[in-house]
Structure 1
């Protein structure tokens, strides 16, 4: 069936077959008989190196559960161009790393006036990237077709405006197909 599809495509469009897909943008793809692995390990390695954190210890978690980032008006300013570059690089990294989505989103809120506390939080995320750069997402070929979603919110989690951040992930069978983290537009009045 795949061969028939490729034959039809080559008749309609000018294209050539270059072999099995191994890279797409910065995604590394490894195909096997049982499924497909997707990672960004080369990008993760270069990200750590670009921001000069290759000699630092790894972090076991992307962010402390006790840390509540806020505007930190009294804090020392940092280079906003550097901070935005770090956030942009990490946002691109979330394409294959659902465990980074919430933390990067929280840090991205402070791009207008980043402080040392925000920069330290971003550096911790990058140190976590260093420790998890070889982790991959696996998509099994032999999976059922059940669509399942999980969704939750931190109640009034933002220290600045008391708005909640929602997060969710969706599976088709065993395979993670979508994930999100988004600050809500309103203040929740209850946990229900």
Structure 2
């Protein structure tokens, strides 16, 4: 949602020093973040109900938005003077490092286009994942997986045999989860399916995981584009199958939420007697969350 303001000036600043793993430093940084929240509220900023890391300040001429995560901060406004004013205000209370227009944050690359739109991608994250599993030179694939492949839980014998392959199945599937939450909803179905077999993966699961790496190799340039001309409409779809799991005959339900051409998709495995109730609960709940979240940018 950070790139939903393509017509605004967006600048990134960073709190210094960055976080460390020591308990003492964690307590110190927590106090700094708490002081930052109090400082913003004392200077006219209000936090978003759905996301406490998003702040907004309304002025007579425009709005100023501030988004932070741990020690990274994005300041956005249609008036560059307002951005500079907020940066100077923050510098008076905290040790800051101004890094100019936002280009990268939380593993996501931002590219501003000549027409003012923003493109978000995770190409660097995908390259790092491919390198981690020695797939940098693999052949690209056009599809993330074959939907006709039957995936079943392995028996103890097959699980033991599968250990010989030395392929880090759980680690690989875990690396796919973050792109889903960022810029790659196209692999949601495959990753959600593979995540059901963390307990006892077999050779078939590994065979499905590797083509997903090949697919990411061929599509690592994919981006989410947020344009000033995008219609800020919320569209949601929900559906469920019937006893689609051949092992335990559980159903799978899911919903798709689309806002300004960006998508969020979530699959949920449920028991058969609740297959219609669960999506009816999840979908409105997520819809209200998105409405409340995006209202701050209205």
**1:164–1:188 CA contact under 8 A, matched in 2:** no
Q: CA 1:83–1:60 in 2, change beyond 3 Å: closer, same or farther?
A: same
Alignment counterpart, residue 18 of structure 1, candidates 78, 93, 99: 99
Larger Rg computed on CA atoms: 2
**1:27–1:38 CA contact under 8 A, matched in 2:** yes
Q: 1:121 Cα deviation (Å)?
A: 1.0
In 2, distance between residues paired with 1:80 and 1:153?
36
Q: 1:59 Cα deviation (Å)?
A: 2.2
Structure 1: runs of 5+ lacking an equivalent? none
Equivalent residue for 2:8?
Answer: none
In 2, distance between residues paired with 1:28 and 1:71?
37
Equivalent residue for 1:67?
Answer: 149
Equivalent residue for 1:42?
Answer: 124
Secondary structure of 2:149's aligned partner: coil
Deviation digits for residues 161-187 of structure 1, max 9, x if unmatched?
A: 122222332222x42153222222x12
Q: What aligned pairs does 1:171-186 form with structure 2 within 5 A after superposition?
A: 171-172=258-259, 174-184=260-270, 186=271
Structure 2: runs of 5+ lacking an equivalent? 1-61, 63-76, 278-298
Equivalent residue for 2:52?
Answer: none
Secondary structure of 1:19's aligned partner: strand
In 2, distance between residues paired with 1:104 and 1:191?
23
> Higher helix proportion, which one?
2
Equivalent residue for 1:89?
Answer: 175
Equivalent residue for 2:221?
Answer: 134
Q: CA 1:191–1:51 in 2, change beyond 3 Å: closer, same or farther?
A: same
Secondary structure of 2:247's aligned partner: coil
Q: 1:72 Cα deviation (Å)?
A: 3.0
Q: CA 1:169–1:9 in 2, change beyond 3 Å: closer, same or farther?
A: farther
Q: CA RMSD in A?
A: 2.5
In 2, distance between residues paired with 1:90 and 1:190?
27
Q: CA 1:121–1:56 in 2, change beyond 3 Å: closer, same or farther?
A: same
In 2, distance between residues paired with 1:108 and 1:80?
18
**1:87–1:108 CA contact under 8 A, matched in 2:** yes
Q: 1:122 Cα deviation (Å)?
A: 0.9
**2:140–2:218 CA contact under 8 A, matched in 1:** yes
**2:254–2:267 CA contact under 8 A, matched in 1:** yes
**1:31–1:37 CA contact under 8 A, matched in 2:** yes
Higher RCO, Cα 8 Å, sep 6+: 1
In 1, distance between residues paired with 2:122 and 2:136?
17
In 1, distance between residues paired with 2:265 and 2:88?
34
In 2, distance between residues paired with 1:162 and 1:183?
10
